[in-house]
Copies of this chain bind each other. A is one copy, B any other.
Amino acid sequence: MWQAGLNIFYLIAFFAVIIAFAYTCYLYLWVKKQDQKNIKIGKIGILIRNGANTFMKKEYIVLAKFALIMGILIAIILPTPIWSSNIWDNIIMMLSYLSGTIFSAIAGKIGIFVSTLANTRAAEASLKGIKQSFLIGFRGGAVMGLAVVGTSLLGVAAVLLFTDNTTALLGFSFGASSLALFAKAGGGIFTKTADVSADLVGKVELGIPEDDPRNPAVIADNVGDNVGDVAGMGADLFDSNVASMAAALVMAAGLDATLNNSTNTSMVFCYSALGLIASIIGIATAKIGKKGNPTKALNSSTYVTTLIYLVLTAGATYLFEGFRWEIWGASTVGLLVGVLIGLVTNYFTDDNMPIVRKTAKASNSGPAFTILSGTAYGFISAAPAMVGIAISALVAYNMCKDIGEGYAMFGISMAAVGMLSIVGMIIGNDAYGPIVDNARGLAEMGNLGEEAINITDELDSAGNTVKAITKGFSISAAGLTVISLLGAYVSKVNAAAIELGKETIVGFDLMDPKVFFGLLSGAAVPAVFSAMLILGVDRNAQRMVAEIHRQFNQISGLKEGKEGIVPEYDKCIDISTKGALRELIPAGLFAIIATLVVGFIGGVHAIGGFLMGNIVSGLLLALFMSNSGGLWDNTKKYIEAGNFGGKGSDAHKAAVVGDTVGDPFKDTAGPSINTQITVVSLVASLMSTIFLAFSIF
C-alpha cells in the first residue's frame, strides 16, 4: 500500500489539470476547423459574438470595480481587522479574493469564446445530418466544462500551495462566488429580457416564428443564450465546485492537524482530480449514430462518467493507506443522490412524462390553469430533492461519525464533493444547450431549410431536457456544499472564540431566539433576492417591448420582410445590456448586506440560523422555480408538437404565458439562488470573528 502524502496529490491534481487543458485545446481546435462557409450565417454569427463580447466587457468593467472595492474592504478587515493583525495576512486574503474573481472571469470568457464559435459550425453541420452537428455542440460545451473544472482545481491547489492557509481558500472561494453572483444575475437578466420580449411581440402578437430575422430582439436573444447560459452558468458551477472543495479542505486540514499528517487533505485533491479525469473519459467516449437520440447520448455520457468516477475513487481508496472506505461511501451517496435528483427533475419536466401532459391538458382551460398546475407541480417537485439532500447528509454523517471527532461533518462535505465530482460533464451538457439553441436560430435566419431546422430543433429539445436535470443537480450540490460550509463556519468561529477568550459554539439551538431570528430572516432572503431579479427582468422587458414596437412601426417594410430591410438589432442588445448592468448589483448587494445586518444584530448564533434558513428556503424556491420553468417550457413544446390543438390554439396561447413566466423563473431567479446561498455562507464564515466581537444581542 502507498503512504498518502500531500505532495504527490498536488502532482496528481496538476497532472489532471494539464490533461484537461490539453484535451480542451484539442476540442477547441477540432471545433474551430469545422466548416464555416455560409456567408449569411457567418455574418449573424459575428453579430452574436460581438454582442456577447460587448456585454461581457461592460459587465466585467462593472464587476472589476466591485471586486476592487471589495478587495480593499477585505484588506482592511479580513481575516481580522488590520489594526489588530499581521498586515501580510490581510494582503494574502485580498490577493486570494481577487484571484478567485479573476479565475472565475477567465472560465466565463473561455466559455463565450468557444460557444460563439461552435454555434455557427453546428448550424452548418446540420445540413449533413445530426451526427456531426451534435458532436460540435457537445464538444463546444465540453470545452467550457473542462475549462471550468480545470481552472477551479488549479486555483484551489495553487492557493493552498502558496499560502498553506485554508482561510485564504475561503477568500478565493468568496471571490469566485461574489463574481458568480453578479455574472449569473446579470447574464440571467440579459438573456430573459431578450427572450421574453422577442417571444411576446414576435410569437404572441405578430405570430412570426421563433428566431425570425425580422424580429429586432432576435440577435439579443441569441447573445443572451451565451452570456446567461454559458458564461453565467459556468461562473455559477465554478463557484459551487470551488466552494465544495474549500469547505472539505477546511475541515480536512483541521482533522489532519490533529493527526499530524495529510491524509484527508490528500483525499479531497485525489477525489477531485479523479472526477476531472472521469469527466474527460466520459466526454471522449460520447457519440451519436446517424439517427441517434441526442438526449440519450447526453445522459449516457453522464452515467459513464459517474461509473468511472466511482471505480477510480474506489481504486484510489484501496491503493492509498489511510484513505477510509466510509468516506468513499459518503462521496458515493452524494453522487448517487445527485443522479436520483436529476431523474426526479426529469420526471417533472420531460414531455414524455405525465406531468407535462397534465399541464398541457390544463392549458386547455386557459392560462390561469397553466400557471396553477405548473406552480403546484413545481412545489411538489421540490420535495424529493429536499428530502434527498437531507437523507444524503444524514447517511454521510452517520457513515463517518465513528471514524473520529469531526469526521461526521467531513463526511457531509465529501458527499458534496462526490455530488460535484462529475461537474465537468454537467457543465458540458449544460453549455451544449445554448450552443444548439443558437444553431437552431442560425439555421432559421440563414435559410438552411426545413431539414436543418428540424435537426437543430431536435438537438435543442435535448438541450432543454438535459438542462432541467443539470439544474436540479447543481442546486442540490449547492445545498450540500453550504451545509458543509456551515461546518467550516463553526470551525472558524470556535478558533476565534478561543483566541478572544469567549465561549465556543457547540451548535445552533432552534430554541434559542437568536437562532430563530436568524432562521426566519435567512429564509426571507432568497424570496426577496429572487423577487428583485424577476422585477428586474419585468421592468427591462417592458422597455424592450416598447423598442420592438417602435421598430416595427417606424421601419417601413420590416414587418412585411422586404428584401434588404434589417431591424436595428444593436438597439435591443443595448437595452438588454444596460438593463442587466443596472439591475445586477442591487439584488446581490441586498443578500450580502442582509447577512451583515443579521450578524451585527444577533451575532454568531443568529448567523448559524440565518445560513440554515437561507438553505431551506433557497433550496425550496430554487427547485420550485427551475422545475416549474422547465415544465412550462416543455409544455409549450409539447403543444407545439401538435397536441391539444397545436400551434395557435388556445392551449398554445396559454402555454406561451406559462413559458414567459417560467423564463425568468428558470434562467434568472432560480439558478441565481444557488450562488446567493454560497455567497452568504462565505460572507458568514469570513466575517465570523467580527460578528463574534461586535453584535447587539
- Chain A residues with CB under 8 Å of chain B are 196, 200, 204, 362, 365-369, 371-373, 375-380, 382-383, 386-387, 389-391, 393-394, 397-398, 408-409, 412, 483, 486-487, 490, 506-521, 523-525, 527-528, 530-532, 534-535, 537-538, 541-542, 545, 602, 608-609, 612-613, 616-617, 619-621, 624, 657, 660-661, 664, 697
Contact = CB atoms under 8 A, between A and B. Distances in A.
B513 A398 contact: yes
A620 B379 contact: no
Given A613-B616, A657-B368, A376 B534 contact: yes
**Most chain B beta-carbon contacts within 10 A, residue among A382, A520, A527:** A520
Nearest to A507: B509
A391 B525 CA distance: 16
B538 A369 contact: yes
A372 to B, nearest CB: 5
A617 B602 CA distance: 21
Nearest to A401: B513
A467 B190 CA distance: 39
Given A372-B538, A516-B393, A527 B379 contact: yes
Contact of A534 (B375, B398, B512): B375
State the copy count for this chain. Answer: 2
Given A383-B528, A510-B609, A520-B616, A660 B368 contact: yes
Given A393-B516, A397-B513, A609-B510, A542 B365 contact: yes
Secondary structure type dominating chain A contacts: helix
Contacts of A538: 362, 369, 372-373, 376
Contacts of A516: 390, 393-394, 483, 612
15 contacts: A204-B366, A362-B538, A365-B541, A366-B657, A367-B367, A371-B661, A373-B538, A376-B530, A379-B531, A380-B528, A383-B527, A394-B602, A486-B510, A507-B507, A507-B512
Nearest to A529: B379
Contact of A657 (B362, B371, B377): B371
A661 B483 contact: no
Nearest to A602: B394
A469 B609 CA distance: 29
A31 to B, nearest CB: 36
Contacts of A409: 511
Nearest to A533: B376
Contact of A510 (B375, B391, B507): B507
A574 B369 CA distance: 22
Contacts of A196: 368
B531 A377 contact: yes
A521 B678 CA distance: 21
A657 B527 contact: no
A518 B535 CA distance: 33
B386 A620 contact: no
B369 A527 contact: no
A455 B417 CA distance: 65
Given A367-B367, A511-B508, A389 B520 contact: yes
Contacts of A616: 519-520, 523, 613, 616-617
Contact of A511 (B389, B507, B525, B664): B507
A620 B375 contact: no
A579 to B, nearest CB: 15
Contacts of A617: 523, 616-617, 620
A520 B200 contact: no
Nearest to A653: B367
B520 A369 contact: no
Contacts of A545: 365
Contacts of A535: 372-373, 376-377
Given A366-B660, A376-B532, A617-B617, 14 more contacts: A376-B531, A382-B527, A391-B517, A393-B513, A394-B514, A397-B513, A398-B513, A507-B507, A507-B511, A508-B509, A509-B509, A519-B612, A523-B617, A613-B616
A534 B519 CA distance: 27
Contacts of A490: 511
B372 A527 contact: no
